[in-house]
Amino acid sequence: MSVIQIPAYTHAILSPSKAAQWLNCMGSIGITKELPRTSSKYAAEGTVYHDVTRRALIEGKDCDAYVGDKYEVEGFKFTVDDDNAEAAQRYVDEIRAIPGKRFIEVELEYSHLLGLPKFIEVNGEQVPGGAGTGDFVGIDYENRVVHSVDLKFGRGDIVYASYVKPDTDTREPNEQLALYGAAAAARFDLVGITDDWLVKMAISQPRANHYDSHNMTVGELKAWVASKRAAANRAYVLYTWGPERIDLNDLKAGDKQCRWCPLSGNCKAQTNKIMDRFPKGHAAQAMPALLTLDDTQLAEVLDSADEIERYLSAARANGLQRALSGHTLPNWKVVTGRRGNRELPDEPETARVELSVEAMTQIGVEDAEETGQIPIQDAIHFAIGESAYKPRTLKTVKQLEGALSKKAPLLWAALQPHITQSDGKPSLERIEDSRPPIANLTPEFPTPNAAGLL
Ligand code: SF4
């Protein structure tokens, strides 16, 4: 089977996936413009499954039709597997349930909406100013709705369609989604989309079991885009100036923008913001003698926790990279890490081991008269029999569902009464999480008294 090669994509200078970065820290794309672009296996895997969903939606198939297909993206090799095909299928099913006319992988340009040039010359090459590929755009004439859905294939960090604005209870759209939504409404404007149409902007993150959406009218989106024009143009100007002319005032740290910034963990503005949270000197002495935190103080700590963890992990990665390239970091050194697990060859049924006559006799090969080569798996089987194997176990219900519900729907239905699922444990989540809060919580544990003591 041939390998499907997906070439590297030329990202716009003010790219949609980095919109939270350049809209909130306008100097960030300028100060990082000369850093080498690094490729990531996770991003490459996302590209593969975007392609699988694209093929499924265009060819009218389900994603399991592509299991076993081989891909190569930016030097990383992948084979489409059952579990990921099943996750990709969830996105495909969500898209198929959206009414109206559907468009897959749509070029969405927003440079004209923000007053940016369509192309910017970089090293003699014309690179788009502000544009990207929307995974899905739907036009539902009947209900006067534009749908814009972005597929995220990661399972780690959840990406939300909107964020609660600090110190308010209003929501701000996810910048990437809002740019896609505005660009989609503008692109299909000719078909009669007016300001009162609704734009439903959604994130589908099937491997994290996450789907949420944020709705704005076309008029509201236009106003949002207009409010971002100055920031976008400043980011563009700072990009053209480059790192030499950018100073600390052009950098504004924050969790959203620093999260994926290549300077994260190596940035003065970000470090200042993190360190300013910890009182020093006289300020620290002037603090009241805190023994325990009240609810508001604890919530503030939790608000900062993710950002600080990400900052520390980026700082560790940066420290290792610097030390590996010969820098001396006081009190730190590079050592060899723990060795990985011991592994047999990938295909022990064909890879061979050479055994002496005595060794063959020891594992029970009868009539061995001379040294010979024997497949490793057979040799181990001779030696210890069935105990050489892991016990055969069924896959999880989630892993079995796709295949069973399609190939044996009657069995799948009959199995339902036998499938149990434990209740979800209470979990503390950010307010953006789409699940409703648990009602009627009763105090099971002692709560702080007025003095803040347990
Ligand atoms: S790490 Fe944060 S503050 Fe520093 S340049 Fe990047 S986005 Fe701006």
The domain spans of the chain are: 3-245, 261-334, 352-388
Helix (H, G, I), strand (E, B) or coil at 429: coil
The per-residue pLDDT for range 218-244, each reduced to its tens digit, is 999 999 999 999 999 999 999 999 999
Interaxial angle between packed helices 82-96 and 397-407, expressed in degrees from 0 to 180 and rounded to the nearest 10: 60
Ligand 1 atom showing the smallest separation from residue 32 Cα: 5
CA-closest residue to ligand 1 atom 7: 258
pLDDT at position 215 over 50: yes
**pLDDT for position 452:** 42
Query: According to the model, what pLDDT value does residue 275 have?
Result: 86
Q: What is the pLDDT of residues 112-123, one digit of tens each?
A: 999 999 999 988
Averaged confidence pLDDT in the chain: 89
238 alpha carbon – ligand 1 mean position (Å) = 13
Q: How far apart are CA 370 and CA 324, in angstroms?
A: 50
Pocket of ligand 1 (CB under 6 A): 21, 25, 28, 31, 251, 253, 257-258, 261, 263-264, 267, 269-270
Q: Is the pLDDT of residue 445 over 60?
A: no
pLDDT band at 59 (very low <50, low <70, confident <90, very high): very high
Report the b/e string of 401-421 with b at 16+ CB within 10 A.
ebbbeeeeeeebeeeeeeeee
Largest CA distance in the chain: 88
| % of the chain at pLDDT higher than 70 | 94
- pLDDT-above-90 percentage for the chain: 59
Span 295-300, average pLDDT: 79
Atom of ligand 1 nearest to the CA of 21: 7
What's the rounded mean pLDDT across residues 31-37? 87
Among protein residues, the one whose CA lies closest to atom 1 of ligand 1: 264
What's the confidence (pLDDT) of residue 371? 78
Mean pLDDT of all residues in 284-292: 62
Query: What is the average per-residue pLDDT within 293-320?
Result: 86
The residue whose CA is least distant from atom 5 of ligand 1 is 28
Smallest CA-to-CA distance from 87 within 50, 138, 135 is with 50
**Residue ranges in 108-217 assigned as alpha helix (H):** 111-114, 175-187
CA nearest to 127, candidates 37, 41, 49: 37
Most confident of 180-184, 286-290, 374-378: 180-184
Query: Residues 349-355: what's their mean pLDDT?
Result: 91
Q: Is the pLDDT of residue 164 over 90?
A: no
Of 8-22, 204-218, 420-434, where does mean pLDDT reach its minimum?
420-434
Top mean-pLDDT range of 48-57, 382-391, 420-429: 48-57
Which of the listed residues 26, 34, 247, 251 should we mutate to test ligand 1's pocket, taking the one with most ligand atoms within 8 A of CB?
A: 251
Give the per-residue pLDDT at 214: 96
Residue 187 has pLDDT above 90, yes or no: yes
Q: Whose CA is nearest to atom 3 of ligand 1?
A: 253
Model pLDDT, residue 453: 43
- Quote the pLDDT of residue 284: 60
Residue nearest to atom 2 of ligand 1 (CA): 258
Predicted confidence (pLDDT) at residue 290 exceeds the cutoff of 70: no
Atom of ligand 1 nearest to the CA of 257: 7
Q: Which two tokens stand for residue 106?
A: 């749509």
Tell how far the Cα of 263 is from the centroid of ligand 1, in angstroms.
Answer: 6
The larger pLDDT score, comparing residue 229 to residue 425, is at 229
d(CA 383, CA 378): 9
Phi, psi of 211 (to 5 degrees): -145, 120
Q: What does the pLDDT read at residue 285?
A: 64
| pLDDT value of position 53 | 98
* Secondary structure (3-state) at 123: coil
Model confidence at 292: pLDDT above 80: no
* Ligand 1 mutation pick, 270, 274, 307, 311, max ligand atoms within 8 A of CB: 270
Angle at 192 between CA 186 and CA 193, to 5 degrees: 50
pLDDT at site 399? 83
Q: How many CB atoms lie within 10 A of CB 111?
A: 21
Cα 239 to ligand 1 centroid, rounded to whole Å = 14
pTM for the whole structure: 0.78
Tell me: pLDDT of 73 over 70.
Answer: yes
Q: What is the pLDDT confidence band of residue 2, given thresholds at 50, 70 and 90?
A: confident
Which class in CATH covers the domain with range 3-245? alpha beta
Ligand 1 atom closest to the Cα of residue 267 is 4
Q: What is the pLDDT of residues 250-273, one digit of tens each?
A: 999 998 999 999 999 999 999 999
Supply the residue whose CA is at minimum distance from atom 4 of ligand 1.
267
Q: How far is the CA of 416 from the centre of ligand 1 (A)?
A: 50
